Amino acid sequence: MSPAEKPSAQRPSASADYADAFTPDPDPAAAARESATHLGLPAVSSGTAAALTLITRAIGARTAVEVGTGAGVSSLALLAGMEPDGVLTSIDTEAEHQAAAREVISGAGIPNRRARLITGAALSVLPKLSDGAYDVVLVDADPLEYVEYVEQAARLLRRGGLLVVNHALLGGAVADETNEDDETLIIREALAATQSMDEFSPALLTVGDGLLVALRN
Ligand SMILES: C[S@@+](CC[C@H](N)C(=O)[O-])C[C@H]1O[C@@H](n2cnc3c(N)ncnc32)[C@H](O)[C@@H]1O
């Protein structure tokens, strides 16, 4: 089990708990979270979900890509802030997870056409999506592929769009210099890539399990 999947790793500090309690889940997210628990899936924290809604709303997002649908907690948060005609494209290897997400999205009264759920491996699907066509890319799937997700996001995002990476601090593992687990090393590499690539201007937020937000220059 990776640090990101350990329940304790989701709660790195009292401040993170306070921040999550500050913006509790709206009703539809509670149903998605229940579904996630049932499937044994981690989901973005309520504070992270609030940040996702804020991000999509602040930039008037019409198009977003989500890498890692899960049971739909983050999908609902993104859609809540997007324009009423906005379309979320969400990718997951597991049809069962997407079926659960579809149920909560429909249950929230969101038309099916606003959530394009694609079942497949992210690194097979992302290259098929159009260049510069997206306002937001959220990364929340396999940490071992984070570097490739960042590279794909640089291509997919329009200028002024935002890359958002969940589990950027991985339950404290990323900040722990003695931790050299594969997932930790690769997340550090992905964070460093956003610092060194001309395409991005990043900020690392300590909400939830760590949220990297990077402007596509
Ligand atoms: C942490 S969960 C996503 C949680 C979701 N973002 C939320 O907050 O509700 C990670 C998801 O990524 C999916 N996944 C793992 N590896 C993947 C890959 N290589 N391509 C696409 N999806 C993947 C898993 O099936 C799982 O549903």
Counting atoms of ligand 1 from 1, which one is nearest the CA of 36? 9
Q: What is the distance in A from the centroid of ligand 1 to the CA of 108?
A: 21
pLDDT, residue 3, reads: 43
Q: Mean pLDDT across the chain, nearest whole number?
A: 94
Which domain CATH number covers 175? 3.40.50.150
Domain count, the chain: 1
Neighbour-count burial for 1-16, b at 16+ CB within 10 Å, e otherwise:
ebbbeeeebbbbeeeb
Q: What is the distance in A from the centroid of ligand 1 to the CA of 102?
A: 14
d(CA 21, CA 185): 30
pLDDT band per the 50, 70, 90 thresholds, residue 4: very low
Asked if pLDDT for residue 11 goes beyond 60, the answer is no
Instruction: Report the percent of the chain where pLDDT is more than 90.
Output: 90
Asked if pLDDT for residue 6 goes beyond 80, the answer is no
d(CA 137, CA 89): 9
Name the closest-CA residue to atom 2, ligand 1.
Answer: 70
Which tokens belong to 49? 């979900």
Q: What is the mean pLDDT of residues 62-75?
A: 98
H-only helix segments in the chain: 14-22, 27-39, 46-58, 73-81, 95-107, 122-125, 146-156, 182-196
Helix (H, G, I), strand (E, B) or coil at 111: coil
Name the closest-CA residue to atom 27, ligand 1.
Answer: 70
pLDDT, residue 128, reads: 98
| Per-residue pLDDT tens over the stretch 118-141 | 999 999 999 999 999 999 999 999
Q: What is the distance in A from the centroid of ligand 1 to the CA of 32?
A: 14
Domain encompassing residue 178:
3-216
Q: What is the mean pLDDT of residues 167-171?
A: 97
Name the closest-CA residue to atom 11, ligand 1.
Answer: 68
d(CA 210, CA 205): 6
Asked if pLDDT for residue 107 goes beyond 50, the answer is yes
Q: What is the mean pLDDT of residues 152-163?
A: 98
Beta bridge partners of 63: 87
Instruction: Report the percent of the chain where pLDDT is more than 70.
Output: 94
